[in-house]
Amino acid sequence: MRHGRWRFLAGALIPALVLHVVFVLSPYAQAFYLSLTDWTGVAGQAHFVGVDNYARLAEDSLFLDAVRNNALLLVAVPLVTIAIGLFLASMLHLGGRGGRRGIAGSGAYQIVYFFPQLLSLVVVAVLWSFVYNPNNGLLNGALRAIGLHGPSWLASPSLALPAVMAVLIWSSVGFYVVLFSAAIDGIPRELFEAALIDGAGGWTTFRKVTLPLVRDTVQVAFVYLGIAALDAFAVVQVMTVGPGGPDGATEVVGLSLYRNAFQYGKFGYASAMGVALFFATLTLAVLALRGGRKTAAGLA
């Protein structure tokens, strides 16, 4: 019986493991190797250059601009999205009487908030490009209606990156409203009732009851949003002038990687960017998960 069980486990796991190695781990290994070459995309023309590609990254001003912009996205997008998501989820669940029942029609609100998730990120970027249009866009049209002159949002170096951030936040917040709502649903009702009996207000209930008990969900949300912020390729590619402009104001690492590989034929250099982005993402995930465990241990 034991041998039959092991044969069954091996038959179930080995094909999946082989597919994972071939289609997931193998491309990673190839990318690491290519980052040490000067490959131009032509078979047989890769020469080993060691860490020269990585040394060039430190001197590439456009890549450094991309790193700076990704860092700003990494700070702003997760924090603002999580804050809005937690606020809306808390209002939907804690806004009714009794401190727990939630407001009327909360399910319909969640559907409305979730709607952007039904659209691909490229479609979202195209729609918001029309919204930001300086001549006949919805945003500037609304400003003109109240007597204000709207700027050229995506052509201004100081406004282009915040405009991209706003799109990323708008497209993500609905999913996290639903996610945090599900986490709040898992909190025992008795805890909210006890807080209400003790005279705790809405903010105190959120800070002392809701937030500690959804901390794990917030931690996971931060990791996923951080990964999205480190990418941001699709939105920048579709929405911005250049793309990556104006004057590198919206340049991100993913866009620099794409341009060097598929426009300039510098696949080895682009692979070095990809490896750097991989380790940045891995570091973010490790720090977020370890920080969450330390916080949980401190609370315990």
**Residue 71: inside a domain, yes or no?**
yes
Tell me the CA distances in angstroms from 190 to 98, 194, 213, one per residue in order: 11, 6, 13
pLDDT at 202: 77
Structure-model confidence comparison of residues 227 and 96, the more confident one = 227
**Residue 127: inside a domain, yes or no?**
yes
pLDDT at 99: 43
Confidence band, pLDDT 50/70/90 cuts, at residue 243: confident
Is the distance from CB of 44 to CB of 277 less than 8 angstroms? no
Domains identified in the chain, total number? 1
**Residue 234: inside a domain, yes or no?**
yes
Instruction: Tell me the chain's radius of gyration from C-alpha atoms.
Output: 24
DSSP-derived 3-state class of residue 223:
helix
pLDDT at 185: 85
**Residue 284: inside a domain, yes or no?**
yes
Using the predicted structure, report yes or no on whether residue 83 has a pLDDT greater than 80.
yes
Lowest mean pLDDT among 16-25, 196-205, 261-270: 196-205
pLDDT at 53: 94
Nearest to 185, CA basis, from 92, 295, 296, 78: 92
Using the predicted structure, report yes or no on whether residue 296 has a pLDDT greater than 80.
no
Using the predicted structure, report yes or no on whether residue 250 has a pLDDT greater than 90.
yes
Using the predicted structure, report yes or no on whether residue 157 has a pLDDT greater than 80.
yes
pLDDT at 96: 46
Supply φ then ψ for residue 205, to 5 degrees.
-60, -40
Mean pLDDT of 263-283: 92
**Residue 199: inside a domain, yes or no?**
yes
Q: What is the largest CA-CA distance in the chain?
A: 81
Using the predicted structure, report yes or no on whether residue 62 has a pLDDT greater than 50.
yes
Is the distance from CB of 205 to CB of 218 less than 8 angstroms? no
Q: Output the domain CATH number for residue 226.
A: 1.10.3720.10
**Residue 277: inside a domain, yes or no?**
yes
**Residue 256: inside a domain, yes or no?**
yes
**Residue 42: inside a domain, yes or no?**
no
* d(C-alpha 30, C-alpha 295), whole Å: 38
pLDDT at 2: 58
Lowest mean pLDDT among 103-112, 140-149, 242-251, 288-297: 288-297
* d(C-alpha 211, C-alpha 284), whole Å: 22
Determine the structural domain holding residue 151 and report its residue range: 53-299
Close Cβ partners of 36 (under 8 Å, ≥ 6 residues apart)? 48, 49, 50, 51, 53, 268
Mean pLDDT of 255-264: 92
